[in-house]
Amino acid sequence: MTFPNPLIPGFSPDPSVVLADGVYYLVTSTFEYLPGIPVYRSTDLVTWTHIGNVATRPEQAGVDDVTTGGGVWAPTIRYRDGVFYVIVTIAMSPRGCVVFTTTDPAGPWSDGITIEGVDGIDPDLAWDEDGTAYVTFSGLSTSGEQMGQHPGIQQVRVDLAAGKALEMPRSLWSGTGLKFPEAPHLYRRGDYWYLLIAEGGTERGHSVSVARGPAAEGPFEGHPANPVLSARSTSRPIQNTGHGDLVATPAGGTALVLLGVRPLGLTQSFSPLGRETFITPVSWDDGWPQPEPVRLAPRNAVDERNAVDEEVFDFADPSALADPGWLAVRTTPESVASVRDGRLAITGQAGLGDPHPQFVGRRQRHLTAAVSATVDASSGAGGLAARYDEEHWICLEARGTVVTARAHVAGITQSWQATVPAGDVELRLEMTLPSAGFGFVAMGGDRIRLLAAGTLVTELDGRYWTSETCASFTGRVIGLYASAGTVSFADFRYRGADA
């Protein structure tokens, strides 16, 4: 089976997938962004539709003041007796390990119940033959005096309805000794229970390892040749591969969805889009799963009809902001922006360097992309921005007839100015692959051109706004914002392609 890869492009790490009555549903992490935990739907594992989000109400995720990079870490989605479950850690927040449920994955989902006694990350949910529910998780502590302690892969039986563990955690097999054993998932297949984990850390050493045993509690015996998948020390185009979840394919085979990055240039140093969701076929050999190395196959390469992916949001459509792909920081898009009189209006109180910016954006999904917006900043200041977090962002900010381009990295800001006509002005960001450097070889980050009213204001090396330099777990999000007064937007346009 030939899969497009990335499967879910753009900032979509820590994927988990479930097959329910012939339909696939996939969820990913969202950290400090809301709505939290996007739900994607597919009938063939190839074409996916973003049908909604689990945490559409702020109180579900509780990330109002969460540390950057904390928040919604690594959900697991499972299905049992007509009910969908998403179990997830809200890291560095009092919410802890939370279970959301629904009978309709498009939502609404429940408010979520905290499971007391699961003090770790990457919780998995599985039931044994008699209906006992197991939560298997990484014991990494993300709060309190134990912060950073890591007792390995842990497991408890739980009472989901009561929201509590039924015992003290027991330690399970925790990999081959690489750092950060995490992302455990438990599966029953034939005579065995399989325990799949990630180890090596989510960067270039990321790996997938597997063990099997006679019961959900083990004891587990590791595969004789773990890790069964890793891109470490290779020049494969997809790096950091790990954090996988197994699923049956429509043809009756097996596949693994997992995270990876697409670093640019010869040195493969910088990944603008952050960690994305990929997929790879899995064969079974002597009762062991064997994933294939992840192959890059951008959709346009798989099907030329999809050469360019284009989204146009014309705010004359009052429902434009209802699309589930909009994101805001520690709050919901509808609390930041509103569509009225045919335009999207945002009233600014703080700038992009604030943990609570008035910003609504969308994931950058392609390495080559152009994003534009038409703004009227006659009554305020605001415009178009690409952000990783409050310490790493670029923007084109209009205020009356002046547009200021700003590049901000870790407390350092550089700016450029241009004068534009009064009224509506087009702001535009163009991201392209690294230009040639060191002779014929492309090095560095992507190239980012910032334009106002068709005039180039400046061009930047995008390496300073990538997964490796920002280290905030998320990915590039491009969107609209206001920093003062009220600005209004007529449209938001995205065009992307992957060579």
Residues classed as catalytic? 14, 182
Strand-pairing partners, residue 415, are: 406
Minimum distance between the CB of residue 185 and ligand 6LW, rounded to whole angstroms? 11
182 or 498, CB closer to ligand 6LW?
182
122 or 426, CB closer to ligand 6LW?
122
The distance of Cα 319 from the centroid of its chain, to the nearest Å, equals 24
Minimum distance between the CB of residue 12 and ligand 6LW, rounded to whole angstroms? 11
Minimum distance between the CB of residue 182 and ligand 6LW, rounded to whole angstroms? 4
Output the six-digit token pair for 400.
Answer: 């009356």
Minimum distance between the CB of residue 410 and ligand 6LW, rounded to whole angstroms? 21
Which helix (DSSP H) or strand (DSSP E) does residue 334 occupy? helix 333-336
Output the six-digit token pair for 22.
Answer: 């012939």
Output the six-digit token pair for 255.
Answer: 């596949």
170 or 179, CB closer to ligand 6LW?
179
Q: Where does this chain bind ligand 6LW (CB under 6 A)?
A: 13-14, 29, 73-74, 121-122, 180, 182-183, 201-202, 243, 473
Residues 448, 275, 282, 199, CA torsion sign: positive
CA separation (Å) from 222 to 46, 153, 247, 269, 284?
A: 31, 13, 20, 32, 15
Strand-pairing partners, residue 182, are: 198
Give the position of tokens 């990295």.
Answer: 409
Burial of 104 (0-12, 13-18, 19+ CB in 10 A): exposed
258 or 427, CB closer to ligand 6LW?
258
Contact assessment for residue 123 and residue 134, using Cβ atoms and an 8 Å cutoff? no
329 or 418, CB closer to ligand 6LW?
329
Rg (CA), the chain: 22
Residue nearest to ligand 6LW (CB): 202
169 or 200, CB closer to ligand 6LW?
200
User: What is d(CA 199, CA 256) in angstroms, rounded to the nearest whole number?
Assistant: 16
* Of residues 304, 303, 298, the one with CA closest to residue 433: 298
Which helix (DSSP H) or strand (DSSP E) does residue 467 occupy? helix 467-470
